[in-house]
Chain A
Amino acid sequence: MRRDAARRGMELAREIRIVAAPAGLWEEIEAGLEKGRRERTAPPPRPGRRLVPGLAIAAGLLLVLLAAGLYGILRRPVTGWVASPLDGAPQIASGRLTTPSELRVGEWLTTDGTSRARIALPGLGRVEVEPGSRVRLARSRLTEQRLDLERGALDAVILAPPKIFVVSTPSASAVDMGCAYRLAVDAAGRGSLRVTAGWVALEKDGREAVVPAGALCAIRPGRGPGIPFYENSPSSFREALAAIEENAAPTEARRAALDTVLAAASARETLTLWHLLRAVGPADRGAVFERLGALSPPPAGVNRAGIERLDERMLRLWKNDMLRVWLSGQPRDDFMKRWTSLWGYLKEGLDR
């Protein structure tokens, strides 16, 4: 019955009329193109009238005072991190952690092969420190909460607004963008980031990898973040990507692996292709641009030449255009959610 209805509907839809574009439309388009050309070549508009100087100076001073006051509040140290034992006998500073205790800035928390601990800050979220880990509270301010993970693994669930909570490892820093994730690193600085909700920016020396939920990104000593990929991507895709990451030199094998990655990529793998733009040499960048453009056409203001020379603004524009695809299936980060998380974090922080 339903199939018959669908078939009948399809037959009717085939009768949808194609209407000829009205006469004169082409001339209007030509006029629009000409207008756009003139606007692009026109000199910049003249500046408007200046503010009355006295009023401008007074307003400026007031703004400086307000900014200084706000800066002082936001930069003041925040206390309230609490470490609690979960299993075994974790160590805090120089003593054994047996009951919930404050973790101060600069103090280390260490777990052996059988112990686990939780550290939490009200309004920010919680971090579970897995066995064999060494973690330090490096900084605690309203605008920045930073942990150093020297080795081991941690699971973080963060409720605070984006960009406040950061975990540094010897090889890269994970900047929370509103998410839950697992970060692991060994003593040599080799590790991985696996995100389960939201997304994380993995950074090192100006290089950034975007790692959304469902994706995994390797961390390599001396090289920072690797190329993120979805764990449910086709196995041929993941294997070829691993070959690219292992062979830095432009060999035949690397080229073949790149061809495999490009051929196997679908809309979600634009995540990996966007990061590949930086990882491949100029000779291969055009091929990556073409495949990425076919899967997700570049937005206005982004062009091939700019991408080939790794123009930061164009790369960012394109990335922002694709973020919603990479984050599809995630809870929506709406205004109320942001406001609630910011308010909860500030309220807890200012109360302390």
Chain B
Amino acid sequence: MSGRHIDERLIEGCRRGDREAFRALFEACGDRVYSVCLHMLRGDEAAARDLTQQIFVDLFTTIGQFRGASEVTTWLHRLTVNACLDELRRRRRLVPLEEARLEEAPSPEDRAAADEAGDRARAIAAAVSKLRPKIRIAILLKHVEDLSYEEMAKVLRCAKGTVASRLNRGHRILARRLAHLRGPARGRG
């Protein structure tokens, strides 16, 4: 998200309360924020939509406090991470068994269904959704938001080594769970 169609003039417009600037900022970042929410909430489109709305309302309400594109995008990432993790915590209290299923390997039925549908993207999304939240958010910040290790450490408030370790662990789990997928990668949908 960093730097994608976001320049200082756009941020200055948002700081002044210009709705067109807000809209441009949403258009530059909205898809990726929504995608992170959607993957974090295991494909729950309604909840991802609500969360994205809340994140942008919070961003636009507080944007006057920030100077410069990098501060604003860091803040947006942090809002996204906090909103997703808070929502998962809330759900865990409501459905305590849900997290217990996170580390389970995909069932043969899941695998067969994914193979049968030939839907590689769905299989990857399903595997991502089964990662533990801290690992999942790291994978999404890296591969959806395209953040550097340093940016991720700042957003997640941890050391760069921790970021690297979570990513490494996440990649290995994905490789293991998606071992049945073969063939070259396709372009992004």
Collect the chain A residues with CB atoms within 8 Å of residue B176's CB: 5, 9
> A300 near B58 (CB under 8 angstroms)?
yes
> B132 at the A/B interface (Cβ < 8 Å)?
no
> A303 near B188 (CB under 8 angstroms)?
no
Collect the chain B residues with CB atoms within 8 Å of residue A20's CB: 31, 34
> A17 at the A/B interface (Cβ < 8 Å)?
yes
Binds A, one of B5-13, B99-107, B135-143: B135-143
Question: What class of interface size applies to chain A in its complex with B?
Answer: 35 or more
- Bound-state CA distance A18–B172 (Å) is 21
> A9 near B170 (CB under 8 angstroms)?
yes
Collect the chain A residues with CB atoms within 8 Å of residue B143's CB: 13-14, 16
- The answer, among A8, A29, A304, A325, for a CB contact under 8 Å with B65, is A304
- Bound-state CA distance A242–B125 (Å) is 52
Question: What class of interface size applies to chain B in its complex with A?
Answer: 35 or more
- Bound-state CA distance A298–B66 (Å) is 9
- Tell me how far the C-beta of B184 lies from the nearest C-beta in chain A, rounded to whole angstroms: 9
- Bound-state CA distance A33–B30 (Å) is 16
Collect the chain A residues with CB atoms within 8 Å of residue B185's CB: 11-12, 14-15
> B30 near A25 (CB under 8 angstroms)?
yes
> A297 near B124 (CB under 8 angstroms)?
no
> A17 near B172 (CB under 8 angstroms)?
no
> B186 near A6 (CB under 8 angstroms)?
no
Minimal Cβ-Cβ distance residue in B for A307: B65
> A29 near B172 (CB under 8 angstroms)?
no
Binding site for B on A (CB under 8 A): 2, 5-22, 25-26, 28-30, 32-33, 36, 267, 290, 293-298, 300, 302-304, 325
Q: List 22 A-B contacts (CB under 8 A).
A: A2-B172, A6-B168, A7-B171, A8-B175, A12-B174, A13-B143, A14-B185, A15-B186, A15-B188, A19-B38, A20-B31, A21-B30, A21-B52, A26-B23, A26-B27, A29-B57, A32-B57, A290-B67, A293-B65, A295-B154, A300-B58, A304-B65
Binding site for A on B (CB under 8 A): 19, 22-23, 26-27, 30-35, 38-39, 45, 49, 52-54, 56-58, 60-62, 64-67, 70-71, 74-75, 78, 120-121, 124-125, 127-128, 139-140, 142-144, 153-154, 157, 168, 170-176, 178, 181, 185-186, 188-189
> Can you name 4 extra interface pairs (CB under 8 A) apart from A13-B142, A16-B35?
A12-B174, A12-B181, A19-B31, A294-B154
